[in-house]
A and B are shown apart, each in its own frame.
Chain A
């Protein structure tokens, strides 16, 4: 069968491969090369060595964006997962209307980041102005919490779905055995449900932490990085370095920042891969 199949490689692999080379391999390699260049367009690039990286690491807005993003990613991950798990536990209790609630909580996921950002911009600004406070664009703290609220609203439903699927796949014998042994609800949760949910928990933790680090649309629409660069996250900072400034040096800086960002995301994913692998061995 392999032999017969191999003859047809052009039909099966070529379309995807060609598009993949155009859409990923070439831009990635070029992008990597351009981190060492000063350029305005791809064709006119001069090699400058590690200068771009040196600048990117020294850039105060980039450093600020890193800490802002890291704080956001960690806090949103914790909040999203704790609330999503709590909701999932409640909705798997044979409660009336559980399906309707599930439908409602998941809904915001289908709305794109830009639209979500504007919906919450209007809502939060209205709430702030009724309280007599500054608008969101004038205060980075409000921007931070606004983004947290928005991400919770969007992502809790998604994680809840994964947790519900995980909870439903726990064999009912385990829960019955726990009941017969006299475990109360709290003990059942910690000793039976959560250990059996570990794979769902790992997936959700890493999904939400990478989502947090890569966040762009919501950041652009809700705060736009205002005031100054104070609520700018990494992806938006890179974007602004590229497109919001003129001058031949900025694109090189932006590309170097993007490469650093890329390394950061890859490291997070490697940790994820490792931790899921080690879980698989245990089971």
Chain B
């Protein structure tokens, strides 16, 4: 029995090595293509490795960064993601704690609305939301976080509420009796307890906002601001002839930081995803 298990494991590990390699291949292909000269990237030669003849060095990357607006797009994406996620974490956790602890009719109604908003697809609101954003001038990367807070509140409040329910009230009551006001109680007692939830909600929201395409595309003032997904889409849409080299370089520059962050904080990301899925 044991011997058979060992054989099965050996066979499986060989299969999985090939499977894993196949899994990374698409990314590897883009990396290789991004190092080739423009003329060597055609539809039918995307699988070919760069040769001494077609190797372009960092040329495509220089081009992408210097003339294709990659750096601005990257900067705006970072700005939008960071401000939105911070805002969502702070506001939604406070709101979730409040409505769970008060738990009157208004809180219950609000909770129901938040849960409902998780289900509604973005297409239902996209037109009205973008014109409201225009009217309230929420169409810049500095203000769009308010839209994200509003639209993303559902999932975050839901997840925070699920966690707050398991915190014993006694701890908070003790803090209040010792003379903390609710704000102090929240930041000194509740917030530290909720740390794991902050991490999972933060990761889920980051993954969403960093990669989001349609919301910023419709809400942002497109003549001035682009995020990375918009930039990549713009490459094919508006340039007439697609410049494959810089596009590949842009794709590489987009996924590299994500992969590095993932490899460094893998444990948190995977735990965050599991926690989010189990509750969502």
A residues sitting closer than 8 Å to B (CB atoms) are 1-2, 4-9, 11-13, 15-17, 19-28, 30-31, 34, 41-42, 90-91, 93-97, 100-115, 118-120, 122-123, 125-127, 129-130, 135, 153, 158, 161-162, 165, 203-204, 207, 214, 216-217, 220-221, 235, 238-239, 242, 251, 254-255, 258-259, 261-262, 265-266, 269
Contacts and interface: CB of A to CB of B under 8 A. Distances in A.
Interface stretch (B38-46, B54-62, B191-199): B38-46
A242 B23 contact: no
A119 B17 contact: no
Contacts of B132: 22, 26-27, 30
A41 B24 CA distance: 46
B51 interface: no
Contact of B46 (A108, A110, A114, A122): A122
Contacts of A7: 182
Contacts, number: 270
Contact of B150 (A24, A42, A93): A24
A70 to B, nearest CB: 15
B124 A28 contact: yes
A6 to B, nearest CB: 6
A5 B102 contact: yes
Interface residues of B, number: 93
Contact of B119 (A100, A161, A258, A269): A269
Given A11-B94, A12-B182, A20-B150, A6 B24 contact: no
Given A26-B128, A27-B128, A4 B98 contact: no
Contacts of A114: 211, 213, 229, 232-233
Given A5-B98, A115-B255, A126 B125 contact: no
A24 B92 CA distance: 15
B182 A31 contact: no
Nearest to B17: A97
A149 B13 CA distance: 23
B101 A17 contact: no
B117 A6 contact: no
A25 B150 CA distance: 9
